[in-house]
Structures are given as C-alpha cells and as structure tokens.
C-alpha cells in the first residue's frame, strides 16, 4: 500500500503547494533591479510580521545562524550574558556564547516549566556586569512558553539587551517587537512561515544596533554592518537563497492577507483542540505553560516514544517528533505550524490513539478525536455568534 505522508514535526513543517511553486520557477539573478524590488517587498512584509519599524535582515542559514549572528555582533570577548536554560535550545544559547568566549551565567529552569521573571531580575541585580538576557520565546524541546513580555519590562530600564529566539514562535502568537521592547528577535523559515528550511531572520532595536557599531566579535558572513550597507541598496551582502526568497514572498503575502490576528487565532484553535484531545485520552501535557506552536505529550510508563514514532511512520506515514536530550523516548511532539487545518489535529490524534493501542496501552479509541471535534465545533459557534 502506498503511504501518504503526514508531517507533524516542529520544523520542517507542511508547506502549501502555492508557496512551493513560487520557488520552482526560473532563477532570477539576484543583483538585477527586478530582484531588488522583490527584496524590498519582502522586507516590508517582514516588518509587519515582526511588528517593528526596524530593519529585518535575513541569511541563507538555519535559525541557528541568526542566533550566532546575534552573539557575534552584539558582544565582545569575556562579556557576561544571562542564559535561560530550560531545554535543548536554551542550552544552544549557552553553547554559542561559550564558543565565542563570552561568560554565560545560567538560570537553570526545570524542563517543562517556564522561567520566573523574579529569578532573572535577581540575577541582574546580583550581577551588574550582565550585558544581555538570552531566552527562547518558547522552548521547542519542551513546549514551554516563557514570559517574554515580563522579561522585557525588566530589561527595558537597564543597560541590558533582551535577545529572543523566536524561531518557532514568530507568527504563532503575539510577540510585538517594538511595543514590548524586545531588543533582538531571531526566526527561521521552516516554522510558522511554512517554508522549507534554509532562511534565518534577525531584527534589532536601536538599543541593540548601537552595540553592533561599537562592539563585536570576529565575524564575516554574519556581519550585520555589511548587511546594513546592502540593505540600504535593496540587496544583500552575499548571494541569497533566491528560490526560498521567492517562496517567502508568497508566504508573507498570504500572512498579510490573512492578518496577524486571524493567524494567531488559527494557531490557538489548533493547539487548544489538540490539548483537549490529549487530556481526553487520559494523557498528560509536558509543559506547565504550553505554547501554541506544538503540543508535547508525556508518554505513560512502558510506552517508548521512539517505538511509537516508528510504528506511526512506517505503518501509517504519520511523522511526529520525539523527545530531545533527557526527554528522548519520554515524550512525543506534535506541531501545529505550517499548512494545517483543524482536521489535521483530528488526524494527528487518531494516529496517536491507534499507535498507543498497537503498543498495548489501554486507550479508549476515539476519545481524543471526539473531544477535539467537539472543541472545534464549539469555537466555530463562537465565531459565527
């Protein structure tokens, strides 16, 4: 039997055929005026998505490239940064900082919990040498949403930057950069932008940009000063990922037409419906403060996540993400990003039910699916009322 693949991983995510086709045509030359017009259009729409009046730069890299660009451009060797470490990607902030010779101080948060703003405030008071707070908008390995707005209220009045990894958060729920006073926001293409992997994005406040001009570690490709000069000419410092940018233009056009409010409501509906279904199955959510981008499910004792994912992938063509690091085998992660509708949540839950059943777990077949459908119907009534 031929399988139809269903992708529920938090990057890559399902990509709409129209977006794929936008990047499948003839390759234009990236230094011609016609492509400068494309870049200009993209940059205006990126400002809308980031909710900022500041420039948004992009690189041909995964989101980690934008994380590295933030560290390389904002700090000097030996400077101290505060890193919120509550999962694999919090660990990544620390690893990049250490690689570049910075002195990271860690706020270690139990996996599954959000950082408490008071912890961050106390660290800043006790360590006045801290130059920035590095944090995830949400930790994709655990599904936890961190209180970014509250952290910005703490850093805004200090000579401290708030650097936010929003790689799988931007465009999923509100993160208004200018309104909240976020100093640096980084993102990636293979998340809510619903593109193939290969593009990263970074935007900086005026406060952060002053560091770029006065500070800095050795950098070449990720040098934001070079990108600024190119930005003013509607081009890029180096050869961009041309096909991906054409797809990006199509994706951003769709986001503009849909509007951020409707986009956020869409992700809220999908994530809430999934969580309702998971709880109806008697399962536990791993995150105490869950985000809207994905649902992380704590597996019952005796159910190995690797084996469950293998059954679903090989027999049914359904691809969930497994746990990372200390969560390997203990959780499954179901994304809601990309080209998905409410009925994709139903499909994911039905796959979860049948997979658990095949592993011998006494799941009540249809319980999760029924509750998700009820929730979707309830919300549809609210919208139409």
DSSP E strand stretches across 43-129? 56-59, 80-85, 103-108
Residue range 46-100, pLDDT digits in tens: 999 999 999 999 999 999 999 999 999 999 999 999 999 999 999 999 999 999 9
Residues 103 and 179 in one domain: yes
186 and 288 co-located in one domain: no
pLDDT of residue 2: 61
Identify the pLDDT of residue 383.
Answer: 61
Summarised one tens digit per residue, pLDDT across range 177-193 is 999 999 999 999 999 89
Q: What is the pLDDT of residue 188?
A: 97
Residue 1 lies in a domain: no
Q: Is the domain of 288 the same as that of 236?
A: no
Secondary structure class of 171 (helix, strand, coil): coil
Q: What are the b/e assignments for 308-345, b being 16+ CB within 10 Å?
A: bbebbbeebebbbbbbbeebebbbbbbbbbbbbebebb
**Cα of 10 vs its chain's centroid, Å:** 8
* Nearest to 66, CA basis, from 166, 211, 149, 151: 166
DSSP symbol at 162? E
Pair 155, 28 in one domain: yes
The phi and psi torsions of 206 (rounded to 5 degrees) equal -60, -40
Q: CA 111, 189, 206 angle in degrees (round to 5)?
A: 85
Query: Residue 372 corresponds to which tokens in the numbers above?
Result: 């998700």
Enumerate helices (H) and strands (E) in the chain, giving the number of each: 14, 14
Number of domains composing the chain? 2
| Per-residue tokens: 137 | 């908008």
Element (H, E) at 203: strand 200-204
Contact 283, 298 (CB under 8 A): yes
Query: Can you list the residues of the chain whose pLDDT is less than 70?
Result: 1-2, 383-385
pLDDT of residue 1: 53
Q: Which of 190, 225, 258 is the last residue of a domain?
A: 258
Do 157 and 241 fall within a single domain? Answer: yes
- 333 assigned ligand-binding residue: yes
Query: Of 340, 377, 349, which is closest to residue 277 (Cα–Cα)?
Result: 349
Q: Is residue 34 included in any domain, yes or no?
A: yes
Provide the residue range defining the domain that includes 335.
Answer: 6-12+259-384
């Amino acid at each position: 039997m031929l399988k139809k693949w269903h992708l529920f991983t938090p990057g890559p995510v399902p990509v709409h055929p129209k977006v794929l086709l936008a990047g499948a045509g003839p390759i234009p030359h990236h230094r011609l005026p016609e492509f400068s017009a494309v870049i200009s259009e993209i940059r205006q729409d990126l400002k809308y998505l980031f909710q900022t009046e500041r420039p948004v730069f992009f690189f041909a890299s995964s989101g980690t490239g934008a994380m590295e660009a933030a560290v390389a451009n904002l700090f000097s060797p030996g400077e101290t940064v505060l890193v919120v470490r509550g999962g694999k990607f919090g660990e990544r902030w620390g690893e990049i900082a250490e690689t570049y010779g910075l002195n990271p101080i860690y706020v270690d948060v139990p996996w599954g919990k959000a950082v408490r703003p008071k912890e961050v405030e106390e660290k800043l008071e006790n360590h006045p040498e801290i130059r920035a707070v590095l944090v995830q908008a949400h930790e994709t390995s655990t599904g936890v949403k961190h209180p970014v707005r509250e952290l910005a209220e703490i850093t805004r009045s200090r000579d401290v930057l708030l650097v936010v990894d929003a790689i799988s958060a931007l465009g999923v729920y509100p993160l208004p950069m200018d309104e909240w006073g976020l100093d640096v926001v980084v993102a990636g293409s293979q998340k809510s932008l619903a593109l193939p992997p290969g593009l990263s994005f970074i935007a900086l406040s005026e406060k952060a940009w002053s560091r770029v001009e006065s500070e800095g570690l050795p950098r070449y490709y990720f040098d934001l000063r070079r990108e600024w000069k190119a930005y003013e000419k509607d081009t890029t410092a180096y050869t961009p990922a041309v096909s991906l940018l054409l797809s990006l233009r199509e994706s951003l056009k769709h986001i503009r037409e849909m509007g951020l409010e409707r986009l956020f409501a869409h992700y809220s509906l999908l994530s809430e419906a999934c969580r309702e279904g998971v709880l109806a199955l008697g399962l536990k959510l791993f995150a105490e403060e869950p985000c809207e981008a994905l649902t992380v499910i704590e597996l019952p004792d005796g159910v190995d996540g690797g084996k469950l994912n293998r059954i679903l992938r090989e027999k049914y063509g359904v691809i969930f993400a497994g746990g990372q690091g200390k969560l390997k085998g203990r959780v499954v992660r179901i994304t809601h990003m990309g080209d998905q509708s409410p009925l994709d949540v139903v499909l994911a839950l039905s796959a979860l039910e049948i997979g658990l059943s095949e592993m011998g777990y006494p799941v009540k077949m249809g319980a999760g699916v029924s509750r998700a459908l009820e929730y979707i119907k309830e919300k549809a009534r609210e919208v139409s009322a």
